[in-house]
Structure formats: structure tokens, C-alpha cells
Structure 1
Amino acid sequence: MMDNKKLKIVVTGDICINSLQWITEPQNNKGLNWETHLNVHSILKSGESLLLAKLMALAVDADIHSPKIDDIEASLSKDFLRSIAELDLFPAYTDEKGNDKVYRIKRFLGFTGPLSDTPRLLPINNDDANTDIVVIDDENNGFNSNEEFWPLALKTPEKSPIVLYKMNNPIGTSTLWKQLEETHIEKTIVIINGDDLRSKGVNISKSLSWEKTAQEFLWQIHNNPNLAFLANCHHLIVPLGLEGAIYYRDEGINEAYLYFIPYEFEGSSFKDNQGKMYGLTSCFVAGLTRSIASGMYDKEELSSLISEGIHEGIVAAQKYFVSGFGKNVQEFQFPNPSIFIEDENDFIYKDLIQDVKIPDKENSNYWYILSDKSSANLAEIAYNIVKNGVKNVLNSIPIAQFGNLQTVDRTEIESYRSIKNLMCEYISKKNVVRPLSISVFGTPGSGKSFGITEIADSIAPELIEKLDFNLSQFRSPLDLISSFHKMRDFSLKGKIPLVFFDEFDSAFEGKLGWLKYFLAPMQDGIFRDGDSVHPIGKAIFVFAGGTSSTFKEFIGEDIKEENEKKNFFIDFKGAKGPDFTSRLRGYVNILGPNQTNEKDQLFIIRRAMLLRSLLERKVPHLINDDGEAQIDNGVLRALLKIKRYKHESRSMEAILEMSMLTNAKTWEQCDLPSKEQLKLHVDEEQFLRHLMQDAFYGEKIENLAIAIHNKYRMLNEENTNMDLIDFLVPWEKLSEELRNSNREQAMHIPNSLLKINYDIISVKKSPGYIQFTENELEILAKDEHKRWCRYRKRNGWKYGEFKDNNEKTDPAIVSWSNLSQERKNKVYQMVNIWPEILAKSNFKLERLKFLGNTNV
């Protein structure tokens, strides 16, 4: 970092003194009377702008000017605002299993107000109108209306410092805001915590998915009249817990960016049993200022410095939380200087924080960060996931993990997290009289039970006991009463039964006949057995669909034909369907490894994650020391590309279990089950075509190369360009170097086609062939020219103004943008013949309906 000694920073704002209290065990049982009792300790610490100034001094090597209290204990006045908090020892880290604990806040006890109505403020020590950066901590406790204490740099005409304005109360009517808006808005950076926005009624979701939170923020900033004043900010930053932030820019063009930790979601880094901390946003601001200060004199763009600063701020806030008040509050240096020092052993680092532009579109419900963060085709990503593991490949996109369950699908992430939030809230409540009822839908074998069970285990594994009942096997309501007695027994033992009612939508006494028997237990938490009424106790009911694969299908929303829809709703109402659904508190649609519809674009990623998980759990000996899965490319392609698994994830698992892998070092094609066994789980003919594609294609490389050459000769037989003479002779007379170039081109075609989301499928008969669009042709031509240049350079060729076979110079060995139009046309011509050549060799081009098809 550059020397910032001459940089002047003013930090000011509202003043608060934090009174911290904690209890320790008796010092001994033989000393003075007071020593044998619990000891209550108390210490005063700087808060609000005083704390922010201390953090700034640690973060930035600059001249810091701020209000000061030299000795808080000695000079504490009752005119100051004071907050009181109770401390306790908490695990330093989420996964801490040892005795490493630090003091954090157990609970905030509230404020002790000043003697006067307005808390006392303090002047800035050695204030200077020529300040470079002004940092304001506005907690809405009087500073924003008291101009006397504002920095000179804000009140002096023609001064234009960078202003970081941390505000607690998002309103645009304060005197200070009006001053900033009128005179400093271009260089003002507003920082408002996401929870502060929510507390003012701004509806932004939390802990569901980063995409959803980001898009809802964007809608609010554009449409909520209460935030209209913020929409004019040139720079607005909204920290989202300790895990993310949104940066909204308005410098002629509105843009918004999301910053996030991929394996976390808002509020997930640290659990409730790890305590709380004040000053987290202040620490974020200090990290942000550190980046801005480091680049000011290099004349870097402010937006770039802010972007880098958000990375710094997130890291600093995380380290600040972990440090807490130390193991010994009275001896610990608070705040800890190490939070702004990068160390190779840090648990978090700046490069871990990812950022992505938030699409500003009304119809962006299907926005996936995966589509923006990866330039690779989804098929390539899927192969890499299986080969190298999820974390090594998907290290820049949001991934939700619940125990052994991992998902990258936004819809699943939002549903699972909604269910987790419901479960957490339900478990934490006391005196609950009714069960928590949720439903889960999916095709058979998609993993309905697995997902919900993993969520429950990730919350309270020692408290929750799973029970399974398949209603299709029940013969009478007495079977259901028996199941209620079993779950009641668990409740009486202090457990919370997680009860799966599988195939709850099966027929009994008519369509959906079981629903009416659940209404009283779901609503009142009771069931009747003869003349007796029994309370069920605390329980989680999970209704797993057997005949409906989605919630919409269950309630009839998928029905298009009006008469059919009308008849469905008559039957649904008669079966008490609306009464049943009104008692549900959430639902999940499990997607499984099969593609559900054309909008389901991540199924190949789900397959890859499932397959990698199966390899790790079932055949770990096939994962080498570097974490690489030893699996034949043909086997991998077939498992990922097969159109449909007949029994979803069960079929994938079955194929692995039927393969002879006990003593195998690599999963080879010969290890797969027989064709007859494969038929139970997949279309065996299609599976084998995918399996043998490398072999099929490899066998025809020579024929394809010859066909490409002959077609090219035919198209250019009247061309008199002397540069092409070497290329237009018959195959037999073609130099070996040019033959190899054609062979390499033929081998490269499948990889090149992936760039426009086409795959090559071997078929029995010659298919029809497609025509590429102009955009597709451009992409393929650029890729083919790059390949050709690499090949020529490997063979000793270099750029020259004229083509010379002896000197090996060629004017075409340049980047695509510098290539002449005539030569470009030749490449277009070459690429355009691929579909016809492939079709004549019985290869069909099939479009991959995958996400992220941004190139075409």
C-alpha cells in the first residue's frame, strides 16, 4: 500500500459510550465473602463514531481527525448516550470443537438516555477544511441536525472531499442529507445496512438466495417512494449481513452489483450460539475506506476503488466478529489490529468474495449467477464437477449446503432455505400446540426424503427423530391413528418427530381421500382414537407427493383446458384440498437429475453433483489423492448426457452399484452392467451411443478430414488465388502438415460446437443437417481461426507480409480482428460445411438447452 501519511481523514458523527458487563465464576471458596460469589464485571468502550475512528486508525495509514475522549472512565458525563450489553464466552468459529472461546454480546440490554433530550456531541480535534475523506456515522441520534459539529470540509464552499456516509435511518429529510445532496452528492458514498432498510418496511428477502435478494433490492430502489432519495445516489452500498453487499451506481447509467461469499448466505456465517457484536457495519466502512485511500493518489476510478473496498470490508467485518472482545475483555486490545492485516492463515480472504452484475430487467426471474460467472458451457462445467469435485469447480457461484445435500439451483435453494427458516423458527418456539406442516413434491426417485432429512439434521440432529409412513400401504384410518400414537410417543420423550407421510395424495375412499383425516391434527395438534382425544405434541409433518410431481400439479394450476380445470376444482374442494393446503406452511419441488421442462436449464449440473457425491460415498477409492475422479470419458458422457433416467437418482445409483468397481482403479466402459441391466434404468441404445461416441468419432476422423478437404476443394475449384494452391490439390498430393491440420480440425469440431451449445450425436442413418446463424458462424469461425493459427505456429510458421513456404511466413497468422475480409470469408466457408460433412458420416447436431447460452 502507498504511503498515505499526508492523506487527511475526518471521522465524526453521533457519540455513544458502550457499557459492557459480564459474569465470572467465584475466584475461590476460601477467601473473603465477595470472592466466593459470582463476580460481575463492567468496562466502558467507545461506540458509534468514536469506535469508527478507532477502526479507521487501524485500517488506514493516514492522518485521522475525530472527536476524542481521552479517558472514558474518568470523564464520562451523564450527557452522553450510553448503551448497555451483557457479554459471555462463545465459540470463536462456527465449527469450533475445542475450548477456543471469546467474549461477545449475549444480549443488548438497551440505552441509558442523556439528562437532556439530545445526546452530547463532540467537536472534531484539529478539524481541517482541506480534508481528503470525510467519514460520518449517522445513527440518527442528533448529529444530522446539529450543523455546529459537522466537518469544515462539508461547510466550506468549493471543497469536495470524498464522503462516506454511514446512515442508520434511511430518510431523505434530515438537514445533513440535504447538505450532502446539494453540494457533495457526486462524491458521496452512502452505506446503509440491509437490516436497517428492512426495519423501515423495505421488503427485501433474506437468506433465500442471493439472486432473489439482489433483484428485490433493485425493484425497491426503483419503485419504493420511501427510497426515492437514494435512487439519486451516485454510490450506494448495502451490506447484507457479514456475507454480502450490493453496490448501486448512478453515474449517468444505473448499474448494480452483488458481492457475496459463494458457500454462505446472508446471516449464515455465524450461528446464534456464537453471540452478537456491535460495530460490524463500522468495520465494513473502515475496510472500504482503506481501499479508497490506497488508490486516491493513483487517480484510479472511484467505482473501482469502491468495488475493491467492498471485498476488504466484508473480510474485515468477518475477522472483527471472530475476534470479538477477546478471551480476556480487560486485557484484550479492542478493536483488534489484526483484522486489517492479511495473513496466509486467515479463514477468509478477499479473493473468496465474488461479484456479479445484477440484471435490470422485469423478466429476469430466471437469472442465475452461474450463467454470469462462468464462460464455460454447462456440459464442460458438469464434466469438471465430476472429475475434480464441486468446490474446486463451482467456487464462484452460490452453493447451498444442508448436511450432505448440495444444490446450485436457485429455485431449490430458495425452497430449501424457506423450509429451513420455518423449521428453525418452529423448533425455537415454546408452547406450540400444532405441528409444522410442509409438503414436498417430485418424481419417484428424485430424493424427496433425502433433502428434507438433511435440512432437519443440519438444524437439530439430536432433537429430531425421523418416522416414515407410506399412505398407499394403509388400509384404514386405524393405520393412521397408529402412526399418530408412534409420533406422540417420541414427543413425550422430548423429541420432535419428523414425520414423512409418503404418497399422501394417493387414493383412499376416492381421490385424495386421506386429506380430510389430517385436518384436525394439522390445525389443532390433536387426533381422536375412539372416544379419547390425544395431543400430538411438537412435530413436523412432511407430506410427500406420490402422484403429483409439483405443488402446482397437486392444486391443479397446470391444467389448461377450462372444463377439465373446473371439474378438478370441484373434486379438489370435495376432498378438502383447499382446507388441507391452507394448513401448509411451505413446500418444495424436488427437481432430481432429469430435465423437468425447457426452462429447467441446470439439470446436467444436478446430475454432475449427484454423480460426484455417489463416487465419493460409494467408491471413494476411485478418487485419487489430488481429488480427481478416475472415470472413463465415455462413461462420464453417457451418465451426464442420457436424456432420461427412468427412476431418477435411484437409477443413477443403481448403475454405479451394478458396475464392477470393487477392485477397479478406473471406472471403465467394461465395468458397466450389461445392456439388459441398463435397460431397467435408461434407454440402453441411447446410453451406448453416448458411451461410444469417442470411439465412433475417432474411427471417422480420417474420413471426416478427407471429406472436409474435398468439399473445400470443390467450393474453390475456380479460385485463382496462388496462396491457396497448396490447399487445393487432391488429398493424396496434400502435404502431411496440411493433412494433419485437416485431421486436427475434424477432431476439434465437437469442442468448437459446444461453444454455440451444440452436441454431436451418433445416429444409425444419415440425418438432415442444419444451417448456422450468422452469430453462430462468427463464433465458430473465430474459434477455428484461433485453432489454425496455433497449429501453424506449432509447425514453425510465423506472421509475414507475404506467404513463403520456405521461410514459413503467412499474412493470415494474425488475430481475427486483424484478418482480411477475404480470409475471413474462407474461414466462414470452411465452418459452414461442417453440418453437411458430419451428417454424411451419420452424426447429428443436437442443441443443448442449457443455461448461459449467451453467445448465440
Structure 2
Amino acid sequence: MDTKDLKIVVSGDICIDLLQWKTEPKDKSPSNWRNHTNMNVIAKGGGALLLSGLVDLAIEGSVISPQIEDLDAPIPKKLLRSTSELELFPKTIGEKNKDKVYRVKSFLGYTGPSTGDPKLLPIINDDVDADVVIIDDENNGFSSNKDFWPLAIKSTEKSPLVIYKMNNPIEFSDLWKQVEKYHIKNTVVIIGGDDLRSKGVNISKSLSWEKTALDFIWQINNNPNIAFIAKCHHLVIPFGIEGAIYYRNDGVSQSQLYFLPNEFEGGFIKEAQGKIYGLTSCFVAGLTRSIVSGKLKNEELSKSIGKGIREGIVSAQKYFIYGFGENIEEFTFPNPAIFTEEKDDFIYKENIQDVLIRNSDNPDCQSCWYIIKDQNSSNLTEIAYDIVKNGEKSALKFIPIATFGKLKAVDRAEIEAYRSIKNLMTEYVSAKKTEHPLCISVFGTPGSGKSFGVTEVASSIAPEIIEKLDFNLSQFQSVGNLITAFHKVRDISLTGKVPLVFFDEFDSAFDGKLGWLKHFLAPMQDGAFREGDAIHPIGKAIFVFAGGTSITFKEFCGENIEDEGEHKEFLSQFQNAKGPDFVSRLRGYVNILGPNQTDEQWDQLFVIRRAMLLRSLLERKTPHLINERGEAQIDSGVLRALLKVPKYKHESRSMEAILEMSMLNNARKWEQSHLPSKEQLTLHVDEEQFLRNLMHDTFFSEKIEKLAMAIHYNDIILCDDRNMETLSYLKAWEELNNEIKNSIRDQVRHIPNALHKINYEVISVKEKPDVINFTEKEVNILAEYEHKRWSLVKKEAGWKHGNILDAKKKIHPSLVSWDSLPSEFQNNIIENIKSWPYILSNSNLTIERLKYLCKCEAVL
């Protein structure tokens, strides 16, 4: 990058980072001290010194900044110092990788002057005409000491591009007032997500990217404590080194989420890998690299910031991986390689996805926002087909996906619930002292996978110390059975392991409705159970209460009862059964969403859950149906029926049963003929609906010729006399050549795909259906799609654009973009589209709207 014509200034709070680490003697030495553990110490530039060094590497040029010539010389007492203890940690997590690098084991604290602010350093060769000013404000005195501010910032007449890294957002600091008054339009503010949270800004962490993003939107719009940063024209909030939000406000606010689909905030750095300081500084350096590059190209600042966020995330992750190297004294820190892209890098900028965040105060609209819907131009059914056929890695490459052992989830509600449970379990297992069991509840229909889900979450935390126990309370005959169960739990706890105890059907009747609840209150609260006069401590344990009669937590608590009288009666019974006391002792719950749709209005990701379950079943039970390219060999009709059938009578067990009952042992492809009989299907699905979906393609294929003829004759009616000579295909169907017939047939075959673009699907019915009318916007979308499809077919067949139609030379005047297509030709396509509902209706094919994630998506 040629930055010789740009003046870039970096300044801010100064810190000297003292790194200390132990080394053991390798050989016997005559000097006694060499035969003992050695404590090594080295000084590195921190704060603005580290940031300036990172920026210097990122832009491959020199920057104007404060400097310390010799860090080996005695450090002035008034300079702020931090001390960290280093240790060798795995470079990356994995059995194959044995490489280790030094990272921080623990931060030991700061050493500063006994009175007053730490010493600051002047900018060497500062220039009032600086093009870019980068500030590292750690709230250690720089923001209030004008003598050390860059000249370009102090000037009221200059307009440098300001990149302001703010550690402690304070509205009334002198530096912020100066920037806000004179430079705010050209300022990019960077504040870490945890720095915002430390100011009481309630933004969730490590649940889902949707939740984090929407929490930020609510806070920036409503929290008076950060109202001042809502005025920023450009605000970047890194969330760990896995994602960031870019907030713009040039009169109308807009926010963009950047994220790694296979990670969540804090997930990249594992506990066994140690820590490192300077991650946000490295992010800022990567961001600066893109902004400076864009400035040299006169690129729009917002575009450069978007690229820079990707640069920053990648650079920060590489910075962490390299750490302080295998040999601190020989390793170049920071490593210049963090800002260069190599072919064997573990992460690329293209891995980082972005999506516009919904800016709505409607809680329903917020709760139904799914990145999977906004991020993919295909509808959910197409994504589901892709998952089964090609696997999750291929189909969900750009979609947030959470993995807990063998469990994978893409549904935001499940991801948030599972991660909240995982966070609780992680804290509980790592706690040195616990007074009572960790109690959570899990609900779902039979066969939805309640036990599997929570077990996989627990196993992903500490499989070596967690041991599972299962008890079904509906099979217990007396309280004595429960006492026996508690003894088994205690026995495992005494071995040093943590029992994961499933109390299945805990909500079953026992001496009345919810009769078991009162017997759990003391063990849940006190961590002990009574047997006669003896009291036995349970020890560390995780109690999982799996519902048998209640499908959701709300149902268990009676929150879904709308009738006032019924609700009052339920509450009375619930209180008598000690339900509120039981709920107060729970620390979390999960509603397991199986392959069935739980709510027609809000639960549209059920088809994705089905697809992931089906793909998993195929991989585990019939791996011979997956070819070497990872493609599942399954008939499209079978796939459609399995994904689109309204309901599985026994949830995932039914889907598994259909697979096991099909004759697939020696099959190369799951054909329709391999499916079980109607009588067997009846046990698990509505066989009429299943078979109707199974034969959908056949129904439509049988009518292609009739539909093609109808479209052709409709075109003849629509065209006027002046087009008769140029449109030579306007003749009887029988007189058309095969090329034209096939072109019209091809259009018919793509009608279902086209309708998917506006959230419709074609369904075969017994009687002639009513005709629907498309909206103007829907018609325009379909017309543009159809023109693009036709143009691609023509170009692949060798046709080119020309002013005059010539079939022999394969020249066509309509081979232009939709916007460049003359209005008369656009109108012909539009009128053709408008005829589709009538033509389909005459063939007993109805057009039905796909389900929506939200009412706000229903209007195009």
C-alpha cells in the first residue's frame, strides 16, 4: 500500500507492558542460579505505542506517533505499567496440533504513579495537516490533557479522518467534546461490546447473533446513558473477535451485523488457550488498513468501514493465534503476518457474513427475526432441500449454526435456549463451592429429543466428569423410590463426578396433579434430602426436569390459558402443588423444538429442523446413500413428502421409523418404491397428505404440456397485429418447431421456482380452485425473474444481443437487462405473468402462500 502521500498520526494513553514467564534449566551449569527455575521479564510497548506499531504494520508505512527509543532502559516511574504472567498454550485446539505459543496466563495488574495521572508522551514530528488521526483513549489521562492531543484534533479548521478507539465511553470528557464539536462527521468511533456492558448497557452475550444485534438496537435507541454515541455518524462495536456491529447515523440510523456463522461471541478463544491483550487494537489496525486504502481510492467511507470490519476480525484472530511466539525473545511481536493473507490461513475475510439488522420497536417483529431468512435469497423449503441433498456445511455456509457435541441447531430460539443452559452449566461445573444442585427444566413433545439435546450440551462442556442418570417419575410408586434415586445421585457425586440427572415426566400425577413437585423443593434449595431422621447432602449435581404432560414452559405455568376462569382455577391448583416454589428454584429452561411445527404463525423453521434431522439420519443409518461428493441420493418426491407432510405423529421417532421401514439396505437411491406400505405410513403420518406431496412432481409434470399450450395461446391473444411479423412463433401449437415448444415447456417447469421468489407454491387439488391476483410488486418480481431466466437460457444456447431478431444467426433484441428492456416487451412479459393463476387454476393447480416468519413479511 503506497501511503507516502498520507500523513497518519497515532496517539493516546501510554502503557508499558511487562511480560514475565518461567523457564526451566535445560543443562546442568556451574552457576547455581541457572540450575533453578528462572523468571524472565521483557518490556513491550502498550496502549498507543502498541496501536501505532500495529497500524504501521497494517498500512505497510510509517506513522507519526509517540515513541520510546529503548524499552530495555529503565522505565520512568510515572509511566503506567501493566504486568502479565505468560505461559505456553496450544497454538490451536486439536489433537493433531502440538505447537505451543506464549500467551497470558494471568494479568497481574497495573503499576502507576502514587498521585496524579500517568505520564504521557509527545507525538514526534506531529503535523497539523494530518490526513488520518487515530486515538487510543483508555481513560488514563490522555482525554483530559490537551497538551498531548494531535495538532489536527486541536485545530478547529482542519478536517482529518478520525479513528477514535474509546475504552471508557464518557460523554463529558474534554477530548470527546472537541471531537463531537469539530470532527464528528469524519469520525469513526470504536467501542468494544464489553466496554459498553460495563457502563450498564444491557446487551446479551453468547446467546445468538440476532439477540445481540437486537439488544444493541434497543439500547442505542432508548438508553440515555449512551445517547451521546447515538449521534456518531460511524460507530463500530466489536463483539469479541467473532463479530461486530456497524451503526451509521447520517439523519437516518442503520445498523449492519458482521459475524462468523460457526462462532458466537467469545467462542473463538477457548479456556485452554490462554489470553492476550491488544485484540481491539489489532482490530482497529485492520479497520484502519481498509479505511486508508479506501481513502487512497476515493472510496465511500461506509464501504471502506464494511471491508475494514472484516479485515479487523481476521487480523485479531490471527494476532491471537500467533501470540508471543514459541520463543518470546526471538519472536517479532506483533507478527507482520497478521495483516497478510496466505493460502493456508484458517480464516478469510470472505468467511465473515453481514446482514442488515431489523430496526423495529415491535417486539413481535424482533422476536421473529432470523438471519437465516434475511441472509438467503432462497425460501426456507429450498434451503431445507439443500441441507438434505448436500449437507449442512454446504447449505448453511453463511448462516449462524450452533454445535454442541453431536447436536446442531439453526433455530434462533433453540440456539439461545441451549447456549443459556450451557452458560449455566459451565459456571456451575467450574465453581469450586456449590450449595445446591443446578436445576433446569426441559419441555417438548415425546420424541422431540429432550434427553439428547441437554445431554449433548452437557457433554460439550466436560464429558470426562459428567455422568448421566435417568429416572422416569411416572414409573415411581412411592416417595421411597425417589429417595433411592437421590442415593444413586449422591453415590456418583461422592466419586468426584457431576451427575446429570434426568427426572423424566416430573409433571406427572402423584397423589394429585403435579404431586412430585413438593418432594423436590428441599433438595433443590438445600442440596440435601431427608430419609427418616437422617439428612444426606447430595453434592454437586445437575437436575434436569423433563416435562411429560406439558409441551412448553408456558404451558407448564399456565401462561397460555386465555379463559380467565380456567386460568384462575389453574393458578389455584398450581399454587397448591407448590408450582411457584418449584419454578423459583429453576435456573433455566429449554423448549425443545422437534420436527413438527409448534405455531403456524411464528414457527417456520420447522422445515429446516426436519431437514437437519433427516440428513443426520441418512448419514448415521444409511451412509451408503451419501456419495463421495457428500450428495444424498434421494428421490425428489420422497424428499418433498418427508419435509412437507403436515405432522409426524411421534415427532423424530416417526421420521426415524419411516427410514428404518424403507427397503434401503441394498438401494443406491431412496426411490418411492422403497417406502413402506400405506398401512405402515399411517402409524406415523397422515398417509393421504404424505402421498399427495410424494406425487406432487408427477401431478405437475403430467400437466406441463397442457399448461404450455395454454400459455402459448394466451400469448397470441395478448399480442397485437404489429408484433405478428416479428414474433414468428404466434401460430398453432402443432405448427411450432420443437425449439419454441421446449422453450415454453421450460418456462412452465420453472413456474414453481418463480413463485417461490414471492413466497408462493403450487399445489395440486381435486377441484378447480379460486384464482388469486398478484400484487403489482409481486408481478414485477416475477417478470424480472422470468426475463433473467429466459436470457440465461438463450445465452447458454449461443444467442447474442442485436437490434434485429435473427433466428439463424441467434441474435435477439431482448437480450438486455430488465431495466434496459423496452417497455412494450416488459409489458408482454408482465401480462404473461398475470395469466399464470388462471392457467394453473384451469388445470386444478392452486397457488398458495408459503408461511411467513412474521406478519410484517406478508406484504410485498
State TM-score, norm by structure 2. Answer: 0.95
Structure 1 range deviating more: 576-585 or 85-94: 85-94
- 2:580 alignment partner, SS class: helix
Q: For residues 765-824 of structure 1, give each alpha carbon's deviation from its aligned partner in whole angstroms, at most 9, with x where no partner exists.
A: 443343333332222233333444455666776655566677776655544334444444
**Alignment match, 1:497:** 499
Distance 1:725 1:169, change over 3 A: closer
Q: Which amino acid aligns with 2:679?
A: E
Match of residue 339 from structure 2: 340
Give the partner amino acid of 1:498: L
CA apart distance, 1:729: 3.5
SS in 2 for 1:63: coil
Deviations 1:286-320 (A, max 9, x none): 11111111221211111111111111111111111
Contact 2:637 2:693 in 1 (8 A): yes
Relative to structure 2, which stretch is displaced further, 834-843 or 541-550?
Answer: 834-843
**What SS does the aligned partner of 2:87 have?**
strand
- Number of the residue aligned with 1:299: 298
The residue aligned with 1:762 is: 764
8 Å contact kept, 2:718–2:828: no
Q: Which amino acid aligns with 1:180?
A: V
Which of 537, 540, 555 pairs up with 1:538? 540
Q: Which residue of 1 aligns with 2:68?
A: 69
Residues 327 and 707 of structure 1: CA distance in aligned 2, closer, same or farther (over 3 Å): same
The 5-angstrom pairing of residues 633-644 of structure 1 reads 633-644=636-647
| 1:165–1:191 CA contact under 8 A, matched in 2 | yes
- Is residue 354 of structure 2 the alignment partner of residue 351 of structure 1? no
Q: Secondary structure at the match of 1:46?
A: strand
Q: Does the Cα contact within 8 Å between 2:91 and 2:97 map onto a contact in 1?
A: no
Equivalent position of 2:784 in the other structure: 782
Question: Following the alignment from structure 1 to structure 2, what is the Cα–Cα distance between the partners of residues 317 and 696?
Answer: 55
Are 2:243 and 1:244 equivalent residues in the alignment? yes
Q: Which moved more, 1:481-490 or 1:819-828?
A: 819-828
Q: CA deviation at 1:53?
A: 1.4
Residue 711 to residue 180, structure 1, CA distance change in 2 (3 Å)? closer
Match of 1:585 in 2: 587
Q: Distance in 1 between matches of 2:807 and 2:163?
A: 64
Report the counterpart of residue 290 of structure 1 in structure 2. Answer: 289
Kindly report which structure 2 residues correspond to 1:679-828, keeping only aligned pairs within 5 A, or say none.
679-711=682-714, 715-716=717-718, 722-723=724-725, 726-790=728-792, 811-828=813-830
SS of 1:565's partner is helix
Corresponding residue for residue 549 of structure 2: 547
Q: 1:819 to 1:34 in 2, by over 3 A?
A: closer
Tell me: CA distance 1:721–1:312, structure 2 relative to 1, closer, same or farther (3 Å). Answer: closer
Q: Do residues 281 (structure 1) and 280 (structure 2) align?
A: yes
Matched, 1:463 2:465: yes
1:4 deviation in Å?
1.4
Question: Cα–Cα, structure 1 residues 655 and 7, in superposed 2: closer, same or farther, change >3 Å?
Answer: same
Query: Does structure 1 conserve the Cα–Cα contact (< 8 Å) formed by 2:718 and 2:831?
Result: no
Structure 1 residues 238-280: Cα deviation after superposition (integer angstroms, max 9, x where no partner): 1111111111111232111111111101000011221111111
Partner of 1:605: 608
User: Per the alignment, in what secondary structure is the counterpart of residue 563 of structure 1?
Assistant: helix
| Alpha-carbon distance in 2 for matches of 1:199, 1:765 | 64
**2:269 corresponds to:** 270
Displacement of 1:719 after TM fit?
6.5
Q: Partner letter of residue 22 of structure 1?
A: W
Shift of 1:209: 0.9
User: Residue 399 of structure 1 corresponds to which residue in structure 2?
Assistant: 401
How many Å separate the matches in 1 of 2:30 and 2:794? 90
Per the TM alignment, residue 450 of structure 1 is displaced from its structure 2 partner at its CA by 1.1
User: Could you tell me which amino acid in structure 2 is paired with residue 651 of structure 1?
Assistant: S
1:588 alignment partner, SS class: strand
Within 2, Cα distance between the matches of 1:28 and 1:725? 93
CA distance, structure 2, for counterparts of residue 791 and residue 204 of structure 1 = 49
- Shift of residue 172 of structure 1? 1.4
Q: Residues 624-635 of structure 1 correspond to what in structure 2 (within 5 A)? A: 624-635=627-638
Partner of 1:183: 182
* Unmatched 5+ stretches in structure 1: none
TM-score using structure 1 length = 0.96
What CA deviation, in whole Å up to 9, does each residue of 1:198-255 have, x standing for no partner?
1111111111111111111122122222212111111111111111111111123211
Supply the AA of the counterpart residue of 2:275: K
Residues 437-452 of structure 1: pairs in structure 2 closer than 5 A? 437-452=439-454
Aligned position for 1:15: 14
Is the aligned partner of 1:365 residue 2:364?
no
SS at match of 2:63: strand
Per-residue CA shift, 1:803-855, capped at 9, x if unaligned? 66777766555443344444444333332333333333333333221449588
For 1:833, which of 835, 840, 857 is the aligned residue?
A: 835
Q: 1-side partners of 2:826 and 2:851: how far apart?
A: 29
Residue 313 of structure 1 is matched in structure 2 by 312
**Alpha-carbon shift at residue 93 of structure 1 (Å):** 1.1
Please say if residues 767 and 839 of structure 1, whose CA atoms lie closer than 8 Å, have aligned partners that are also in contact: yes
Structure 1 counterpart SS, 2:181? helix
Identity of aligned residues (%): 64
SS in 2 for 1:171: coil
**Secondary structure at the residue paired with 2:684?**
coil
Query: Where does residue 572 of structure 2 map in the other structure?
Result: 570
TM superposition shift of 1:73: 2.3
Distance 1:582 1:739, change over 3 A: same
1:120 corresponds in structure 2 to 119
1:369-518 aligned within 5 A: 369-518=371-520
The secondary structure found in structure 2 opposite 1:584 is coil
Shift of residue 513, structure 1, vs aligned partner: 1.1
Instruction: Give the 3-state SS of the residue equivalent to 1:238 in structure 2.
Output: strand
Deviates more, 1:770-779 or 1:75-84: 770-779
Q: Which letter maps to 1:619?
A: T
Residues 403 and 724 of structure 1: CA distance in aligned 2, closer, same or farther (over 3 Å): same
Once the two structures are superposed, what CA deviation does each residue of 1:338-377 show, in whole Å capped at 9, x if it has no partner? 1111111111111111111112111222111122211111
Deviations 1:705-756 (A, max 9, x none): 233334555x559967534875554333344333323322222222222222
CA contact (8 A) 2:761 2:847 kept: yes
**Counterparts of 1:812 and 1:98 in 2: how far apart (Å)?**
57
Greater shift, 837-846 or 126-135, is seen at 837-846
Per-residue CA deviation, residues 456-496 of structure 1 (Å, 9 max, x unaligned), is: 01000001011111111111111111111111110011111
1:416-447 C-alpha deviation (Å, 9 max, x unpaired) = 11000000111111221200000111111111
Q: Does structure 1 retain, via aligned residues, the 8 Å contact 2:726–2:805?
A: no
CA contact (8 A) 1:6 1:62 kept: no
**Contact in 1 for aligned 2:724/2:730 (Cα 8 Å):** no
**Which stretch shows the higher mean deviation, 33-42 or 456-465?**
33-42
Q: Which amino acid letter does the alignment assign opposite residue 747 of structure 1?
A: R
SS of 1:631's equivalent in the other structure is: coil
Partner residue, 1:151: 150
CA contact (8 A) 1:465 1:495 kept: yes
Distance 1:485 1:9, change over 3 A: same
In 1, distance between residues paired with 2:176 and 2:794?
A: 64
- CA contact 1:488–1:535 (8 Å) conserved in 2: yes
Q: How far, CA to CA, are the matches of 1:103 and 1:824 in structure 2?
A: 65
